[in-house]
């Protein structure tokens, strides 16, 4: 009897119309007219079969790029894209929270391609994990060319949102239950990404403190350098109702768009050309701004490298009265390039920083570039693309630890494990994937999970139950959770030398109920421990323990290993059932845990 149009993000959603109509019919109390059936039945073949169940927090947004969304080149403005990303992520967060949410932070974003007028931007956002009052939302952005049908990835981002109740109070969130393998992986690794965000600032401080020589001013003749002050930009924006959400707080995406605008102007003043934004470094919103606030946006080029430049930009808010002074809302660092007609980065002029704060920003930009490259190299790569032994140093220690633990968690969440052998209480599973043969050995042990975690995370005691280990020397204690060992193992079959490894051991306690204790191992390189002639240097990409509490006194202990080619001879014999060495080793592990259970209790009591 009436035509209902439901519009979401400028896209009419047919399933919403159908849902409304069906719900309306089912809830009707009016009797059917003569000759009409009491229930509507779908004609065979009239509609496609229903799609599989989707994550309830998933939000999909499709936007057609119009001229009003683009720059002078007919390419989608990155600021507009950031607004769409933030909107989709916020809607996903609010679906899970059931209340208003605000943007707390955004991880690094690397833009792989530009988007042109007439193309469609497809954004998919869903909550990966909910913590106490915050949640991580994963966002995937791609574009679609309607004429050619081509699809291409633009970027992947992770945003943190905080749920807010009345008067800005925090809301405790319900935990999320992942269903698919992909969701379980993202759920597990979200805890590691959260940990990495919390130590983000400390990483820069450590690098500047421990390696000042790496961030000194470059030697230059100064003749072609552009004074950094010439690139400085300041602009003010008035926050109006269209810029804010239903609570009156300014959209995080709108603030990011304004910041991108002034950063682009600053970059243009250095190169006298139209720059392209390539990356935005991880940033945090320090506080909200409301309708009626004035936002002061400042930007300056901190440093220019050969083919890229870093622009620092900040946002401050003040009210009409200015009685409370300016409030710092956000700071961000954006990386720009200038492309030639072939799409290759052009060489940029150098920057001459002013003494004092200018030189400090210059040095910090150099340090951030190193950290950014390390983070992209270690964190953003697929697991199979990361080299086996990555050089360890102060700038990448957080990201190597993240990669170490997340790789193990990804392996744990894999499906299609096949039971290869079961002997008494020990079960062995295998997983064939690409060029890796992974295996998992698990058993239940009468020991509290925390005590098993303490015993198994100490590699110096590994030789007490694993006959393949000869010794393990602690060469560097990075912090309480990460340690580097030099390990010597027994000779492998048909080998004349024993193997040695330089291993990063990363340990994690459960982030929330249901999470396991994790001890992850991967190879790294250290200048102090190069390969030696008396050993064959071995490497491990991913291995470690996961320990789940089954009760106060029982734990499930599982060991995982992605076997590399040098280890396959040892593994294959066990998979084929020609040897019970692995099962025997794990049985020895159980005896070790039980034997040291009481000793550990006594030491803790002392």
Cβ-contact 122, 143 below 8 angstroms: yes
Q: In this predicted structure, what is the pLDDT of residue 213? A: 46
Q: In this predicted structure, what is the pLDDT of residue 508? A: 94
* pLDDT for residue 51 is more than 70: no
Q: In this predicted structure, what is the pLDDT of residue 17? A: 32
Domains along the chain with CATH numbers: 56-182 (3.10.129.10), 224-383 (3.10.129.10), 385-596 (3.30.530.20)
Confidence of residue 369 (pLDDT cuts 50, 70, 90): confident
In sequence order, which residues have a C-beta less than 8 Å from that of residue 153 and are 6 or more positions away?
112, 113, 140, 141, 142
Confidence of residue 126 (pLDDT cuts 50, 70, 90): very high
* pLDDT for residue 103 is more than 90: yes
pLDDT, average across residues 242-269 = 92
pLDDT, average across residues 99-119 = 92
> Which runs of consecutive H residues, i.e. helices, occur in 413-492?
449-456
Tokens of 428: 């062995």
Least confident residue range of 183-192, 199-208, 259-268, 285-294: 199-208
Confidence of residue 540 (pLDDT cuts 50, 70, 90): confident
* pLDDT for residue 36 is more than 60: no
- The pLDDT tens digits for 342-355 are 889 999 999 999 99
pLDDT, average across residues 492-510 = 87
pTM (2 d.p.)? 0.79
Helix (H, G, I), strand (E, B) or coil at 419: strand
* pLDDT for residue 567 is more than 90: no
Q: In this predicted structure, what is the pLDDT of residue 34? A: 41
Confidence of residue 200 (pLDDT cuts 50, 70, 90): confident
Which uninterrupted H or E stretch holds 20? helix 14-26
Q: In this predicted structure, what is the pLDDT of residue 119? A: 96
Q: In this predicted structure, what is the pLDDT of residue 606? A: 54
Tell me which range, 11-15, 260-264, 395-399, is most confidently predicted by mean pLDDT.
260-264
Q: In this predicted structure, what is the pLDDT of residue 23? A: 38
* pLDDT for residue 96 is more than 90: yes
Q: In this predicted structure, what is the pLDDT of residue 583? A: 76
Could you tell me which of 409, 347, 410, 402 has the C-alpha nearest to residue 377? 402
- Percentage of the chain beyond pLDDT 70 is 81
Which uninterrupted H or E stretch holds 581? helix 581-605
Confidence of residue 417 (pLDDT cuts 50, 70, 90): very high
Least confident residue range of 25-29, 213-217, 292-296, 435-439: 25-29
Phi, psi of 99 (to 5 degrees): -155, 170
* pLDDT for residue 222 is more than 60: no
* pLDDT for residue 546 is more than 90: yes
Confidence of residue 359 (pLDDT cuts 50, 70, 90): very high
Strands 517-525 and 390-391, how do they pair?
Answer: parallel
Q: In this predicted structure, what is the pLDDT of residue 565? A: 52
Distance CA 128, CA 512 (A): 14
How many other CB atoms are found less than 10 A from the CB of residue 525?
A: 17
Bridge partners, 309 (sequence order): 304, 336
pLDDT, average across residues 511-531 = 91
* pLDDT for residue 554 is more than 90: yes
In sequence order, which residues have a C-beta less than 8 Å from that of residue 21 and are 6 or more positions away?
4
- The pLDDT tens digits for 427-485 are 989 898 777 788 899 999 999 999 999 999 999 999 999 988 899 999 999 989 999 99
- The pLDDT tens digits for 575-596 are 444 346 777 888 899 899 998 8
Mean of the per-residue pLDDT values for the chain?
82
């Amino acid at each position: 009897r009436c035509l209902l149009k439901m519009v979401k993000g400028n896209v009419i959603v047919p399933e919403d119309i159908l849902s409304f109509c069906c719900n309306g019919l089912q809830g009707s109390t009016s009797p059917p007219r003569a000759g009409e059936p009491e229930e509507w039945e779908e004609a065979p073949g009239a509609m496609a079969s229903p799609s599989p169940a989707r994550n309830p927090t998933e939000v999909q947004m499709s936007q057609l790029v119009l001229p009003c969304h683009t720059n002078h080149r007919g390419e989608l403005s990155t600021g507009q894209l950031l607004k769409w990303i933030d909107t989709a992520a916020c809607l996903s967060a609010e679906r899970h929270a059931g209340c208003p949410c605000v943007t707390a932070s955004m991880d690094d974003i690397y833009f792989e391609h530009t988007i042109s007028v007439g193309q469609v931007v497809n954004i998919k956002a869903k909550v990966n994990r909910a913590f106490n009052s915050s949640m991580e939302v994963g966002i995937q952005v791609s574009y679609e060319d309607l004429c050619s049908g081509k699809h291409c990835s633009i970027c992947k981002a992770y945003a943190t949102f905080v749920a807010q109740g009345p008067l800005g109070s925090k809301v405790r969130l319900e935990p999320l239950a992942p269903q698919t393998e992909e969701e379980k992986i993202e759920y597990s690794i979200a805890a590691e990404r959260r940990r990495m965000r919390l130590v983000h600032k400390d990483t820069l401080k450590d690098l500047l403190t421990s390696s000042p020589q790496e961030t000194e001013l470059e030697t230059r003749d100064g003749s072609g350098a552009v004074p950094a002050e010439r690139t400085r930009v300041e602009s003010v924006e008035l926050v109006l109702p269209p810029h804010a959400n239903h609570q009156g707080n300014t959209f995080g995406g709108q603030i990011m768009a304004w910041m991108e605008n002034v950063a682009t102007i600053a970059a243009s003043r250095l190169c006298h050309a139209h720059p392209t934004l390539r990356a935005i470094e991880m940033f945090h919103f320090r506080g909200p701004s409301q309708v009626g606030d004035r936002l002061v946006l400042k930007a300056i080029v901190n440093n220019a490298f050969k083919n890229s430049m870093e622009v620092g930009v900040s946002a401050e808010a003040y009210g009409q009265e200015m009685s409370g002074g300016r409030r710092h809302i956000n700071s961000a660092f954006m990386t720009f390039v200038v492309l030639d007609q072939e799409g290759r980065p052009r060489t940029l002029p150098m920057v001459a920083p002013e003494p004092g704060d200018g030189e400090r920003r210059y040095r910090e930009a150099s340090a951030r570039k190193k950290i950014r490259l390390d983070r992209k190299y270690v964190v953003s790569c697929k697991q199979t693309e990361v080299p086996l032994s990555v050089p360890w140093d102060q700038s990448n220690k957080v990201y190597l630890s993240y990669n170490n633990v997340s790789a193990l968690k990804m392996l744990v969440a894999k499906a299609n494990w096949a039971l290869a052998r079961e002997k008494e209480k020990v079960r062995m599973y295998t997983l064939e994937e690409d060029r890796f043969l992974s295996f998992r050995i698990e058993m239940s042990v009468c020991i509290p999970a925390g005590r098993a975690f303490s015993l198994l995370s100490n590699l110096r005691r590994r030789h007490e139950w694993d006959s393949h280990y000869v010794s393990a020397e602690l060469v560097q204690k990075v912090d309480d959770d990460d340690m580097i060992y030099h390990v010597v193992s027994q000779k492998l079959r048909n080998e004349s030398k024993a193997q040695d490894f330089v291993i990063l051991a990363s340990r994690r306690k459960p982030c929330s109920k249901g999470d396991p204790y994790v001890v992850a191992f991967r190879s790294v390189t250290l200048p102090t421990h190069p390969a030696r002639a008396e050993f064959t240097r071995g490497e491990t990409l991913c291995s470690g323990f996961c320990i789940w509490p089954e009760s106060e006194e029982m734990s499930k202990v599982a060991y995982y290993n992605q076997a590399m080619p040098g280890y396959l001879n040892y593994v294959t014999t066990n998979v084929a059932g020609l040897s019970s060495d692995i099962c025997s080793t794990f049985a020895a592990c159980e005896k070790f845990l039980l034997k040291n259970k009481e000793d550990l209790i006594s030491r803790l009591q002392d």
